[in-house]
Structure 1
Amino acid sequence: MKIFANISWLIATIIIFISLGILIFLFHFVPEPMAPKISAWIIRLGTFFSVEIEGKEDPEANMILLNHQSDMDIAIMETSTKKDLAWVAKKELFDIPFFGYALKLPRDIPVERENKTSLVKLVRDVKSRLDIGKTITMFPEGTRSTKGKMLPFKVGAKMVADKYRLRVQPVVIIQSAKYYNIKEYFYKPGRVKLIYLESFVAEKADKDWLKNLREKMQKVYDDELANNPRHR
């Protein structure tokens, strides 16, 4: 059975790369953010993913923070909102041929997490994306957590949210690693759940809001698994 899952992973990964090629091609012909949306829908439909949405998206939110388990998370989020998203991602991804170009075209934002100079640039880049109406979208863990426990949230998310008093909407994705796991070369079609939590305005005076948010998101995740055996 594992060999079939590995073959399925390879096919799904090829579909992802084809969709990125389509994004690069379409970007020069269609208005933003259609190219990333079309690319994301190709991934979802081509890999037979479906998404159950709980909660309501806040149209006024200009920052989305979500947990990260799988490379499918971006397609799941892109196809679950009409907003023009600017993703914040580690700089190394932007240096990868082809893949990096697909990130640069829609003006996603590179960041070196341990570099203070890069964090200053992040603040400037966020402002430039906000000025053209994009919604800043971040995985505050900074990398994938596939075991069900969210990693500590990086300070960059709080820094930019506090700086511009952004309206933050947390989003919890349930068990996407169960269906697509790049480290284990595993894929199977499935139904992922995406939960919109209540939005709030970032307040610099509240020094613990990011830490408290992680705890809240983890509780939502744990409660969903406890109450819905389908996700286990």
Structure 2
Amino acid sequence: MKILAHINWLIATAIIFFSLALSILMYPIMPRPYSRKIAAWFIRLTIFFSTTVKGEEDPQVQMFLINHQSDLDIGVMETITKKDLAWVAKKALFDVPFFGLAMSLPEDIEVERESKTSLVKLLRAAKDRLAKKRVITMFPEGTRSRTGRMLPFKSGAKVIADMNQLKVQPIVLVETASCYDIKHFFYMPKDIKVVYMDSFIADKNDENWLSDLRIKMQKVYDDELASNNSNR
């Protein structure tokens, strides 16, 4: 089984890189977000993962906050929503050859941690993307969690949401790392559960809404995981 999973990972990773190249080539000739959506759907259809969606997307959403476990998470999101997503990611990713180009061409948003000037640029970029009717999309943990426990949420999400009084919708992805795990060179196709939680308007007077949200999202994750295990 492990050997098969490693072979699957090699094939899936090659397909992901091919799809990134495809999206880069399509950017000059196709309006956003179609190039990225097509590339994401190509990945999904060729490596055979599926999704089960619970809850409904808020049609007025302005920000998605999503837990992060796998490099497949972006592809999952791009295939379950028709929204034009503006991903927020650390600046180091934009500096990676090839991958950075796939993020800069669609005008995703880079953030440089521990930089005061970066915060100003982040807020300016977020305002610009919102004016273009895009949905700010973030992994508030800032990096992948490999334990099933969500990492502390970074403050950037709260700053953007509070400054613009955004309608925020949390989304919980369940066990995506058990499908695609780059650290262990593992891939096995599976059905990925996606849970849309209730949306809300960010309240800057509530200093704890982001940390409270992490607790709520963790509970949803744990409940869905327990439900999945009981159905096996």
TM-score range, shorter chain: over 0.9
Q: 1:111-169 deviations in whole A, cap 9, x for unaligned?
A: 11222221221111101111111100000000001211000000000000000000000
Measured in 2, the distance between the counterparts of 1:13 and 1:231 equals: 30
Rounded Cα–Cα distance in structure 2 between residues aligned with 1:230 and 1:173? 18
Match of 1:197 in 2: 197
- Could you tell me how far 1:231 is from its partner in structure 2? 8.6
The residue identity in structure 1 corresponding to 2:227 is: N
Tell me whether 1:22 sits opposite 2:1 in the alignment. Answer: no
What is the Cα deviation at residue 3 of structure 1? 2.2
Indicate the residue corresponding to 1:183 in structure 2. Answer: 183
SS at match of 1:203: coil
CA RMSD of aligned residues (A): 1.2
* Partner residue in 1 for 2:121: 121
| Residue 30 of structure 1: how far off its partner (Å) | 1.3
Question: For the Cα contact (< 8 Å) 1:66–1:139, is it kept in 2?
Answer: yes
Partner in structure 2 of residue 104 of structure 1:
104
The DSSP-based 3-state class of the residue aligned with 2:80 is coil
In structure 1, C-alpha distance between the alignment counterparts of 2:143 and 2:85, rounded to whole Å: 18
User: 1:8-157 to 2 correspondence within 5 Å?
Assistant: 8-157=8-157
2:114 and 2:88 map into 1 onto residues whose CA distance is 14
The one-letter code matched in structure 1 to 2:176 is S
Q: Is the 8 A contact 1:84 1:134 kept in 2?
A: yes
Letter in 2 for 1:45: L
Consecutive unaligned residues in structure 2, runs of 5 or more: none
Deviation at 1:41, TM superposition (A): 0.4
Alignment length, in residue pairs?
A: 232
Report SS of the residue matched to 1:149. Answer: coil
Supply the AA of the counterpart residue of 2:60.
E
C-alpha contact 1:174 1:231 (8 A) present in aligned 2: no
Q: Deviations over 1:7-51 (max 9, x none)?
A: 211110110000001101111111211001001101111110100
What secondary structure sits across from 2:210 in the alignment?
Answer: helix
SS in 2 for 1:171: strand
**Mapped partners of 2:175, 2:231: distance in 1:** 6
Preserved contact between residue 66 and residue 172 of structure 1 (Cα < 8 Å) = yes
Query: Counterpart of 1:221 in structure 2: which amino acid?
Result: Y
Answer yes or no: is the 8 Å Cα contact 1:175–1:231 preserved in 2.
Answer: no
Please state whether the residue corresponding to 1:222 is helix, strand or coil.
helix
Shift of 1:222: 0.4
Percent of counterpart pairs with the same letter?
60
Distance, in Å, in 1 between the alignment partners of 2:130 and 2:58 is 16
